[in-house]
């Protein structure tokens, strides 16, 4: 899938990832999603993380924490350990979220009057597929009047 991470907003993320973004910010959250898609990561209790930071040689059971710290930095990893305190973070694959965002961008391009062919070339898809995406109304855009 193309890299649409940069165009995602916090509101596009699943609830658990929004919670993580609230603690460490959008950039580090997306970095975790990019580095460990579909992987559960165990966070230590905050006090255990503090001990590891002061003596890294004792951390043979802190592999996931080290992976997180490598991607988002030790300070932000500590913030996660403090906030989630010993839970397992499930880092989802964002394929569906990214696909939906790509479709939104395609619809926006079409609303601006960009020809189907040019949109197809921009997103490396067929113009027929562009038409399918543009003609399909996502569930969240449906409205009913009584």
Instruction: Indicate if the pLDDT at residue 83 is higher than 50.
Output: yes
List Cβ neighbours of 23 (8 Å cut-off, separation of 6 or more): 76, 79, 80, 83
Within 10 angstroms of residue 15's Cβ, the number of other Cβ atoms is: 6
Mean pLDDT of 64-93: 89
How much is the pLDDT for 1?
43
Between CA 8 and CA 95 the distance in angstroms is 12
Q: Give, in order, the Cα–Cα distances in Å from 13 to each of 47, 101, 141.
A: 29, 11, 18
């Amino acid at each position: 899938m193309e890299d649409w991470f940069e165009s995602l907003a916090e509101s596009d993320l699943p609830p658990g990832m929004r919670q993580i973004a609230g603690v460490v910010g959008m950039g580090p959250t997306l970095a975790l999603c990019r580095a460990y898609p579909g992987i559960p990561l165990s966070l230590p209790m905050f006090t255990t993380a503090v001990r590891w930071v002061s003596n890294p040689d004792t951390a043979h059971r802190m592999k996931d924490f080290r992976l997180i710290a490598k991607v988002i930095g030790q300070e932000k990893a500590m913030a996660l350990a403090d906030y989630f305190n010993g839970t397992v973070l499930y880092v989802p694959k964002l394929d569906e979220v990214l696909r939906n965002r790509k479709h939104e961008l395609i619809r926006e391009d079409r609303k601006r009057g960009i020809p189907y062919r040019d949109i197809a070339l921009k997103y490396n898809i067929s113009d027929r597929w562009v038409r399918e995406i543009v003609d399909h109304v996502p569930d969240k855009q449906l409205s009913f009047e009584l």
